[in-house]
Structure 1
Amino acid sequence: RRWAMLRLVPHCDRGPEAWSATSEAAEWALGVLEGTGSDVPYALGDDDRETKACLAAALASRAALVSFSSRSSEDAGESLEQRWRDTVRFALRAVRAAGDCPGVVQAAADALGGVRAADPESAARETRRFHEERDGDGEKDVSPSPSSPSPSHAPLYSSLSVLG
């Protein structure tokens, strides 16, 4: 299964291929859950728990990669700033698309927490940018406010609350 393989990524590879694999998996899963991907009819025929498991595994692997990258002096290809940006966006999109799945919410919180620990300014900037873009499209945020989170959103909002 794809989600099981993704859990191994940070243990096997921490280079550009690992970042690419987690990006592709997150984009695929988000495309299916948001109804925008090319594999939507195929994937929706399957149990959406598999898609959510893939998304959670991709985010958990990105959280591990963020942690490793923030401690490493290596910098290959894509900039860390771009990796942080993508990680924040994947995490926030994931909560909107699969907020009913505790595994996705926890993995998103871990990924956001990792970026926040590595680069607080980048995390705050990308979170604001994400919400401004969503609000600019006329979409209203229907998720609970950080002051009254639902139980499934509590880990995410505890990570987001310090981003201000």
Structure 2
Amino acid sequence: MNTVPEDQRARRRVANEVLNALRDVNGHFTVLNHQVGARASLRHVDLSCLDQIARYGPIGPGALAKRVGMHPATMTGILDRLERSGWIARERDPDDRRAVVVRTLPDRGVELYRLYTGMRAAMDEICAGYDVEQLELLVGFLNQISDAGERAAAELAD
């Protein structure tokens, strides 16, 4: 005889479906990013760094390395490659003349934006089917999932 109440079994089943859906999303975005990277002649880590620089930059190399889970020495090589390819620029940090920050170059950013146009259009179409309150609920849920992933990665890094 099963002693777990039906509502707990249902909650566990649906929670597992959410986890599986997130795994599917992760897998499909990995493939999408691979395709975008191939079209733009970028490695996966390069694309990840460009995304972080575009979102949080200008950013110092050390902070960027921490955001993408890379060793700072490895980040130097990645930034050298991105700079040589015309994706980023290194500049003096306006708050600390001894430090450097990196920023994306707008012309190249447009190139990546174009490659994601199909996905952005699909997202717009999907989001159009939800009202603002539902979208806010989804944003909150996804932010919590993102925070949990960040914490789990930090635990493994320690």
- State the TM-score bracket (shorter-chain normalisation): under 0.3
Larger of the two Rg values belongs to structure? 2
Q: Which has the higher strand share?
A: 2
TM-score normalised by the chain length of structure 2: 0.27
TM-score normalised by the chain length of structure 1: 0.27
Q: Higher relative CO (CA 8 A, sep ≥ 6), structure 1 or 2? A: 1
